[in-house]
Structure 1
């Protein structure tokens, strides 16, 4: 058996007891006006620690709640902005589509009007050319006018005669031939009398 270990055990106990007494005296000396016992002081310290922990828990929960509310507000704001942007994009697209439709319609109407005008002009030109040809044929059939060069010009169904003729009778006869052609609305006789023609 180890005798040194046995001898040290009572010494160790005495030292531990002395340290506990010194600690108790130290605690008592810290606050001489405090009549509470060490147990009461310990209970008070535990209560303060629990109160501080509870306060920290409440603050943490409040901060978490505020963060959650802030995130929900930010998400709602982002949704609202996205919906507003989508709505604006739809409105602009609809406006651009409507504007394009209106421009296409206007262009289509203008094209139709231009086509009608071109068709009418072409038809009038063909009709005028036909009248000129028929007047020339009528003048060529007349024995007194066939040898004379008479210029016939037709515009909008109005026939203009120009050039020289031998006499007033020939001038009048050219007017009658031109007026007798279908489609002629008026004859402008600019023929000049030239007996040598």
Structure 2
């Protein structure tokens, strides 16, 4: 009788059993049909689209708010520049104040007058003239009275 070589059988069966066990462990169970998988993919795409729409809406709101803020800032700057021009014109129209150097600064409708007035009456008159300009909220008169008066 012929003797069979059985030395390779045990390792061979062990390797086959190990391979089968590994294949069974790595196999992912997905009992869904192709239609169910497609429906799931469509639902995920719709969700992603809805999220993108919300994010786009939020970005538009942010951009709109920034534009409004920038427009308001530019409008305020133009209003302040207009006030400076009108206050300077009013001061130049006054006989005693037109010969003086008065610096007019405006921020948010608040006028600051600095420089020198020829006398106390002119100093007070500068406040009155500046206050009469449309858009002026307050006047901070920092004018000093010239010493020679």
In the superposition, the TM-score normalised over structure 1's length comes to 0.56
Instruction: Choose between structure 1 and 2: higher strand proportion.
Output: 2
Q: 1:163 aligns with which of 115, 121, 126?
A: 115
Deviations 1:142-193 (A, max 9, x none): 1111111111111111111111222221210110110111111111111122
Q: 1:133 aligns with which of 80, 85, 107?
A: 85
RMSD of aligned Cα (Å): 2.0
- Displacement of 1:112 in angstroms is 1.3
Larger Rg: 1
In the superposition, the TM-score normalised over structure 2's length comes to 0.73
Separation of aligned partners in 2, 1:104 and 1:195: 66
Matches within 5 A, 1:1-197: 80-196=32-148
Q: Extract structure 1 runs of 4+ deviating beyond 4 A.
A: none
Point out where structure 2 has 5 or more consecutive residues left out of the alignment: 1-28
Which structure is richer in relative contact order (CA contacts within 8 A, separation 6 or more)?
Answer: 2
Point out where structure 1 has 5 or more consecutive residues left out of the alignment: 1-76
Deviations 1:23-70 (A, max 9, x none): xxxxxxxxxxxxxxxxxxxxxxxxxxxxxxxxxxxxxxxxxxxxxxxx
The aligned length equals 121
